[in-house]
């Protein structure tokens, strides 16, 4: 189904199904619902591939970016959701095509360590962490990984470690998260590459523009992730075939189809889907900043995962440690706190008290502030398998479809645009 060239361009993203209607690529015009990263990437990629094709980008609110938002207060800078990108050439290509490479840098090498707080203390996450699962657990997990409806807990048979991973990604416990959706390459879900993983990785590593990332590293934009939104907006605004419609208000696919005279089969839904049956979880995002001497006991690193539901904080990201650019005033450090509403009483004082119980955070912060809330879709066991034979009239994309990270949705936009290109060749 996919060529070696496809695998080099997209890697394991090809394991995720595209939820595209049969009539989409033959459309005389396209409507994209949702002005977040997914919708903007789709408009840019499809609009570039098909400059003859009229495209309407429909956003219900008065701002573009969706969950991508960067908070600033003086010299403090923090992203509310995604703060950095894991290595994947699709995101590097997008940055390069938008001529933003000068603002795009690898994360600091000194901030690569990650920790998890378990019952017996704080542990650095490493290959040795898997030993806590035990030989029998590893065997059971391997067998479960080939089932279509396995949860992350079924595969990673240590509830604390598994919960730490899923809470850090989708704000849900491991028993409630589809293993195939979160880790399709680990579970072997979807199509297989025509060459070995090692050979494929080598070929992919040679395809990066701008710079070749280190294994396991991250990269980010100097001024925060809103820069990619602004870059896409600027590029799209110069394209004559794309119309951006703001403040369209809520609406079902049928209502928007009628309002903008776009057939359902010509629409790509890249926003929260009305009537989605799986529900969502919510969390609040806090920032806390300290003078360096007040948190000298906190090791430099990426962050700490906290699966213990008795604490309202599920994760701490070391924002000023990670990025090439400064995210805090001189001689200060900034941290982002993830606070799931299922674990929090809504009182800011509870967050302060919980923070003091974590090693190294006993000092008085220079700033502690809630900067936003997030609603995250749920992806129950069996979710990705249920999408494999998708045949709806409405095309789906983004976080309410088969993606869960910025690399997923950016690569998905490329893959969909390539369908338009290929259809034109045929």
Cβ atoms 68, 37 nearer than 8 A: yes
Q: Tell me the C-alpha distance between 363 and 194, whole Å.
A: 54
If we measure between CA atoms, which residue out of 150, 168, 139, 127 comes closest to residue 314? Answer: 168
Q: Tell me the C-alpha distance between 329 and 169, whole Å.
A: 28
How high is the pLDDT of residue 382? Answer: 95
How high is the pLDDT of residue 15? Answer: 95
Q: Say if residue 230's pLDDT is above 90.
A: yes
Q: Say if residue 403's pLDDT is above 90.
A: no
How high is the pLDDT of residue 401? Answer: 83
Domain boundaries, the chain: 4-68+88-99+208-276+381-425, 113-177+280-377
Q: Tell me the C-alpha distance between 269 and 262, whole Å.
A: 12
Question: Can you identify the CATH homologous superfamily of domain 4-68+88-99+208-276+381-425?
Answer: NAD(P)-binding Rossmann-like Domain (3.40.50.720)
How high is the pLDDT of residue 225? Answer: 96
Cβ atoms 368, 164 nearer than 8 A: no
Report pLDDT digits (tens) over 10-59: 999 999 999 999 999 999 999 999 999 999 999 999 999 999 999 999 99
Q: Tell me the C-alpha distance between 29 and 31, whole Å.
A: 7
How high is the pLDDT of residue 194? Answer: 96
What band does 215 get if pLDDT is binned at 50, 70 and 90?
Answer: confident
How high is the pLDDT of residue 129? Answer: 79
Q: Tell me the C-alpha distance between 160 and 257, whole Å.
A: 45
Q: Say if residue 400's pLDDT is above 90.
A: no
Here the tokens at position 313 are 């904080």
What band does 399 get if pLDDT is binned at 50, 70 and 90?
Answer: confident
If we measure between CA atoms, which residue out of 163, 103, 154, 206 comes closest to residue 315? Answer: 163
Q: Which residues contact 384 (CB under 8 A, 6 or more apart)?
A: 16, 17, 178, 180, 181, 184, 189, 402
Q: Tell me the C-alpha distance between 67 and 3, whole Å.
A: 33
Q: What percent of the chain has pLDDT over 90?
A: 85
Share of the chain residues as helix, strand and coil, in percent rounded to the nearest 5 = 40, 20, 40
Q: Say if residue 68's pLDDT is above 80.
A: yes
How high is the pLDDT of residue 362? Answer: 82
How high is the pLDDT of residue 246? Answer: 97
Report pLDDT digits (tens) over 8-23: 999 999 999 999 999 9
Q: Which residues pair with 80 in a beta bridge?
A: none
Phi first, then psi, for residue 282 (nearest 5°) are -130, 150
Answer whether 4-68+88-99+208-276+381-425 and 113-177+280-377 agree in fold.
no
The pTM (predicted TM-score) of the whole model is 0.95
Report pLDDT digits (tens) over 102-154: 999 999 999 999 999 988 788 998 877 777 788 888 889 999 999 999 999 99
Average pLDDT over residues 213-231: 95
Report pLDDT digits (tens) over 252-283: 999 999 999 999 999 999 998 877 788 999 99
Q: Tell me the C-alpha distance between 189 and 184, whole Å.
A: 5
Q: 390 vs 95, which has greater pLDDT?
A: 95
Average pLDDT over residues 166-180: 95
Q: Tell me the C-alpha distance between 367 and 363, whole Å.
A: 12
How high is the pLDDT of residue 210? Answer: 98
Q: Which CATH class is domain 113-177+280-377?
A: alpha beta
How high is the pLDDT of residue 138? Answer: 82
Average pLDDT over residues 232-255: 95
Average pLDDT over residues 369-375: 96
Alpha helix segments (H runs only) across 268-322: 319-322
Here the tokens at position 338 are 């993830």
How high is the pLDDT of residue 131? Answer: 75
What band does 424 get if pLDDT is binned at 50, 70 and 90?
Answer: confident
How high is the pLDDT of residue 126? Answer: 84
Helix 226-237 × helix 37-49 angle, to 10°: 30
Q: Tell me the C-alpha distance between 357 and 128, whole Å.
A: 26
């Amino acid at each position: 189904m996919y060529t070696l060239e496809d695998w080099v361009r997209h890697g394991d993203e090809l394991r995720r199904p595209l939820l595209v209607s049969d009539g989409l690529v033959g459309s005389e015009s396209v409507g994209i619902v949702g002005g977040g990263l997914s919708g903007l990437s789709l408009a840019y990629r499809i609009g570039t591939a098909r400059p003859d094709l009229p495209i309407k980008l429909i956003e219900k609110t008065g701002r573009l970016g969706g969950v991508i938002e960067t908070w600033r207060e003086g010299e403090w800078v923090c992203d509310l959701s995604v703060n950095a990108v894991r290595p994947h050439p699709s995101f590097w290509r997008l940055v390069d095509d938008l001529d933003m490479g000068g603002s795009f840098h690898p994360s600091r090498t000194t901030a690569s360590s990650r920790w998890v707080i378990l019952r017996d203390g704080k542990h650095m996450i490493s290959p040795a962490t898997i030993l806590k699962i035990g030989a029998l657990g590893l065997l059971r997990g391997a067998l479960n990984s080939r089932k279509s409806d396995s949860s992350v807990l079924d595969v990673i048979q240590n509830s604390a470690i598994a919960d730490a991973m899923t809470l850090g990604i989708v704000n849900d416990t491991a028993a409630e998260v589809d293993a195939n959706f979160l880790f399709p390459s680990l579970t072997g879900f979807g199509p297989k590459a025509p060459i070995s993983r090692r050979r494929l990785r080598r070929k992919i590593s040679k395809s990066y523009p701008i710079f070749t990332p280190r294994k396991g590293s991250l990269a980010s934009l100097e001024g925060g992730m809103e820069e990619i939104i602004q870059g896409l907006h600027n590029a799209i605004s110069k394209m004559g075939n794309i119309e951006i419609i703001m403040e369209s208000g809520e609406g079902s696919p049928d209502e928007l189809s009628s309002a903008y005279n776009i057939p359902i089969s010509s629409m790509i839904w890249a926003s929260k889907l009305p009537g989605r049956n799986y529900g969502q979880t919510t969390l609040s995002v806090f920032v806390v900043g300290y003078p360096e001497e007040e948190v000298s006991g906190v090791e430099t690193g990426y962050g700490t995962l906290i699966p213990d539901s008795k604490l309202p904080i599920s994760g701490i990201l070391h924002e000023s440690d990670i990025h090439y650019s400064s995210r805090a005033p001189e001689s200060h450090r900034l941290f982002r706190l993830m606070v799931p509403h299922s674990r929090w009483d809504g009182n800011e004082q509870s967050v302060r008290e919980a923070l003091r119980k974590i090693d190294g955070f006993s000092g008085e912060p220079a700033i502690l502030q809630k900067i936003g809330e997030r609603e995250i879709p749920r992806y129950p066991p069996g979710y990705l398998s249920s999408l494999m034979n998708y045949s709806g009239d409405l095309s789906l994309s983004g976080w309410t479809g088969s993606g869960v990270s910025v690399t997923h949705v950016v690569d998905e936009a490329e893959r969909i645009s390539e369908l338009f290109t290929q259809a034109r060749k045929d």
